[in-house]
Amino acid sequence: QKEVEQDPGPLSVPEGAIVSLNCTYSNSAFQYFMWYRQYSRKGPELLMYTYSSGNKEDGRFTAQVDKSSKYISLFIRDSQPSDSATYLCAMSTYNQGGKLIFGQGTELSVKP
């Protein structure tokens, strides 16, 4: 079993839709949770960061962490064609020397 599971998609939605991206994990020691966005032929770009459980909102993006269920989500409101990219969840534990464990990535396409 992989430490982090993420539905690879692809996911196709119409412009303006609400997008929900999810990851599950097995290591209860994970405390730091991140979402990265990766455009084609580019490196991953940090979108959201959450420490421990709870919600965090930044513009059209909301990150949720449910440590009891070992489940994290990223919601994108009013999705735009420019949101078309691969979204990767990543997580780590305290004192893991900086090692991030990534999900497989979900490919999202927002159609105008």
SS3 83: helix
Provide, rounded to whole angstroms, the least separation between the CB of residue 45 and another protein: 7
* Nearer CB in complex with another protein: 43/112: 43
Nearest to 23 by CA among 47, 2, 54, 52: 2
Instruction: Look at the block and give the residue holding tokens 């079993």.
Output: 1
* Nearer CB in complex with another protein: 19/89: 89
* Nearer CB in complex with another protein: 34/74: 34
In DSSP terms, 61 is beta-bridged to 58, 76
Are 109 and 12 a contacting pair, CB within 8 Å? yes
What does the binding site for another protein look like in residue numbers (CB under 8 A)?
4, 6, 8, 32, 34, 36, 41-46, 49, 51, 88, 90, 92, 96-100, 102-105
